[in-house]
Amino acid sequence: MAASDWKNKCKLEWSLGDDIPMPDTVDWKTIYEKKPFGRNLLKNPAPFGLSHSAPPPEHELAGMPGAEPPRFEPKGDFSSWKTSREMLPIDSSGIPPGAAVCYMPQFSWFSLEQRVDLKAEGFWEELLDNFQPDFSVQDWYEESGLHKFIYELHVKLLGADGETVIQEHTFSPEDDTRNYSNMWKEVSHVFSSYGPGVRQVHFLHKLKNMFMVDFRATRVTDSAVVVRPTRSTKT
């Protein structure tokens, strides 16, 4: 198939408008095979093996205290994710002087992050710089009830050097621990009119865990970054 035929195939199948630049210098056969639009650019979007279409499974109590070594990280398949853990100081401010306390909760942040190379995923420079399609971000976190701050989302649109931040979004909700419902909470954001130069997406979310006799985790699922050949505002 000729190069012009691959270009036309991309234009027709993805309904690319005339305002989307499609230079002949682009390898349209490769672009077509990568199928960049409308798919989740994150790998392994459900590392805990869960789906937001069903309620999170209830936490199962472990055996007798001390029967197993203390655990400070959740269990899951974290392939394609870079993970890290941050132990937080124990808060003893509410304990009266002289009071005897057997156990205190030990909180920690568990972070998962991914970096998406947009050109490697099939997006061409003229599309990103001139048309600037919307980037849709979605995530679902468990209402674990462990603390009023249990989740953070940090997403950045980066330049080719992987360091220059062109646009970013941060979300750090405060949950009402008095109304525990054991449900998923949706988080979403759309990047638009972000300017030229975007070549990478950095996606990071932080989950609060707790250890006090037993380990309790806050889980996430169905994380997504999706690009479609549309934009919400003209640039």
Bridge partners of 191, per DSSP, are 135
- The pLDDT of residue 68 is 56
Q: Is 11 helix (H, G, I), strand (E, B) or coil?
A: helix
On whether the CB atoms of residues 140 and 220 are closer than 8 A, the answer is: yes
Residues 6+ apart with CB under 8 A from 134: 190, 191, 192, 227, 228, 230, 231, 232
Q: What are the strands of the beta sheet with 220-227, ordered from one edge?
A: 184-191, 135-142, 220-227
Q: pLDDT for 135-149, tens place per residue?
A: 999 999 999 888 889
**Intervals of the chain under pLDDT 70:** 60-72, 91-104, 212-213, 233-235
Amino acid letter at 137? V
- The pLDDT of residue 208 is 92
Q: Is 22 exposed, middle or buried (0-12, 13-18, 19+ CB in 10 A)?
A: middle
- The pLDDT of residue 230 is 95
Q: Is 76 helix (H, G, I), strand (E, B) or coil?
A: coil
- The pLDDT of residue 98 is 59
Q: How far apart are CA 33 and CA 128, in angstroms?
A: 19
Q: Which domains does the chain have, with CATH numbers?
A: 1-35 (no CATH), 39-54+71-90+102-227 (2.60.120.260)
Amino acid letter at 7? K
Tokens linked to 175: 């949950």
On whether the CB atoms of residues 103 and 216 are closer than 8 A, the answer is: no
* Residue matched to tokens 């805990």: 48
Q: Is 148 helix (H, G, I), strand (E, B) or coil?
A: coil
Amino acid letter at 17? G
- The pLDDT of residue 144 is 86
